[in-house]
Structure 1
Amino acid sequence: MYLSANIKILRKRKSITQETMASSIGISRSKLAGYELNINPPLETLLQIADYLGVSVDLLLKKNLEELSEFKLRELLDTDRFLKGKNLRILATTVDAEGKELIEVVSQKVKASYLAGFSDPEFIGDLPRFSLPFLSQDKKYRVFQIDGDSMLPIPDGAWIVCEYVDDWTRIKDGEKYVILTDSDGITFKIVYNKVKENEKLLLCSSNPIFKPFEVDLRSIREVWRFRLMIVDKA
């Protein structure tokens, strides 16, 4: 059984002190400390602990939570709250005088700075911005300027309008997305969802000279779905 370790893991994951948890379930802190070592609680207390931590007794007893990655813990304990954006996920944005969402423009010049500033309201507020009245007012959009030739026929320097994806379970195989990651910054690729298989996304180029590669879900900061390209006919 994995009861003692699991109680400690789940308590710490919720950022709850032993004193707070013990008081909430009506036992002493020293008793809870014992349960987190190697002492088995009585059945009534075990039921209270499981209820307080929001898990089943079966999971507390039989699942070795120490062996699970953070993603697997989120998937198991939070019913995909992380993937579906139900946990806190900050998106800095701008609005016009009437409170309507504006579309910020991320050019090649600021691309390198975007990873550090994507959640900073001041950084986002300094970006050029505009509105497109024919786009849905219920969604959030951002424009990214593409560099390189990995996504031909979309050329180097093209501007693409993308829709913010809060629910990562909606990432669809074979569609184009802008993915912001810790390691690669802004990447525009054709995406295949491998989350259930290995907690990753497979990113592919339309240009065959560029090899596909995978990104770990834990390194992803933002996901934007490609909606349309703005063509400069000048």
Structure 2
Amino acid sequence: MKAQEMFWSVNIKFLRLRQKLSQEALAEKLGITRVKLNAHESGRTTNPTIDDLINFSELFRMSIDSLLKIDLSKLSEQKIKDLELGSELFMKGNNIRVLAVTVDKDENENVEYVPVKAKAGYRSGYNDPEFLASLPKFNLPNLPKNGTFRMFPTIGDSMLPVPEGSDVITRYVQDWTRLKAETPCIVILKGEQDFVFKQVTIKLDGTMLLQSFNKQYFAYTIPVSEVIELWEYYSFHSKQLPEPQTDMQQLLKMLQEMQMEIKELSERPYKKKFTGGNN
């Protein structure tokens, strides 16, 4: 049987050049050295690690299967955009997101707790069994059986009315396409922020709208490729009772919603209407 031809090295270089990135710039985005990236592009890395496959796949918003088996340089630009923006493989997590978990002596999944001091390390260790094994873990009664749960701390007041310092229990989201608009989630990011607690709306253009619960904070949009994991809100634990919104907070919320509506209207295509008649 003829061996399957692989296009890993060709595709990595092609996609980098398509985004007009230098090797140094792409290596920085991936958190690897330029020497390692060059080894991938030159074909010296014949068996990429699972971590490399996942990282390149998430950054380029392309399924691992496509990166390995399809010569992307032979495709039209539209076809590549279809693979990126309409990639069910990416949004549904097929062949991309590998979730590491820990179990108890009865093979039941634990609920791992990511304390504040472990936030910085979670972004690089989220799929490392050894890192997860080092986290505090416990079991909670009455959690649904059909899911993987993890607990994250909240910091700052952007989550109000969820009190600052609460611990949020979340369920892992494998299929991002099933999320309804404004679903509360812990979002694990690739950038400087380790994770945020936001209302998530995934848009058709391949971006993700992140809105704070505290309407004094403005919403912002990021590419879905900048997101490592989504954990959907299930419940929270707190020693404080949520405070009711003040009149000023409600007014600020209304003002922000009006600003967003005006922005959306201004971004819509404008078509001038001509009518007959003499001037």
Alignment deviations for residues 14-68 of structure 1 (CA, whole Å, 9 cap, x no partner): 989xxxxxxxxxxxxxxxxxxxxxxxxxxxxxxxxxxxx79xxxxxx9x613783
AA at the equivalent of 2:123: L
Deviation at 1:209, TM superposition (A): 2.1
> Which residue pairs with 1:29 in the alignment?
none
Percent identity, aligned pairs only?
32
| Structure 1: distance between partners of 2:181 and 2:85 | 20
Alignment deviations for residues 43-96 of structure 1 (CA, whole Å, 9 cap, x no partner): xxxxxxxxxx79xxxxxx9x6137835xx42555xx612211211422111100
1:207 matches 2:214: yes
Quick check: 1:74–1:80 contact (8 Å CA) kept in 2? no
Tell me how large the CA RMSD over aligned residues is.
2.9
| Structure 2: distance between partners of 1:178 and 1:167 | 15
Give 1:219's match in structure 2, choosing from 223, 226, 235.
226
| Structure 2: distance between partners of 1:112 and 1:171 | 26
Quick check: 1:83–1:167 contact (8 Å CA) kept in 2? yes
1:232 matches 2:239: yes
| Structure 2: distance between partners of 1:174 and 1:143 | 20
Alignment deviations for residues 90-120 of structure 1 (CA, whole Å, 9 cap, x no partner): 2111100010000000122211211111111
1:192 matches 2:201: yes
Deviation at 1:206, TM superposition (A): 1.6
1:73 matches 2:68: no
TM-score, L = length of structure 1? 0.68
| Structure 2: distance between partners of 1:141 and 1:14 | 36
Q: In 2 relative to 1, CA 167–14 (structure 1 residues): closer, same or farther, beyond 3 Å?
A: farther
Higher strand share: 1
| Structure 2: distance between partners of 1:13 and 1:216 | 23
Aligned 1:13-52 pairs, distance under 5 A: none
Give 2:180's match in structure 1, choosing from 149, 172, 182.
172
> Which residue pairs with 1:25 in the alignment?
none
> Which residue pairs with 1:43 in the alignment?
none
| Structure 2: distance between partners of 1:130 and 1:169 | 30
Structure 2: tracts of 5 or more residues without a match = 12-68, 241-279
TM-score, L = length of structure 2? 0.57
Deviation at 1:230, TM superposition (A): 1.4
Moved over 4 A (4+): 13-16
1:121 matches 2:116: no
| Structure 2: distance between partners of 1:182 and 1:204 | 18
SS in 1 for 2:199: strand
> Which residue pairs with 1:37 in the alignment?
none
Alignment deviations for residues 149-178 of structure 1 (CA, whole Å, 9 cap, x no partner): 001011211001000000010121122001
Aligned 1:26-175 pairs, distance under 5 A: 64-65=76-77, 68-69=80-81, 72-74=82-84, 80-175=88-183
Give 1:12's match in structure 2, choosing from 4, 7, 16.
7
| Structure 1: distance between partners of 2:109 and 2:144 | 10
SS in 2 for 1:104: strand
SS in 2 for 1:156: coil
> Which residue pairs with 2:254 in the alignment?
none
- Counting matched residue pairs gives 178
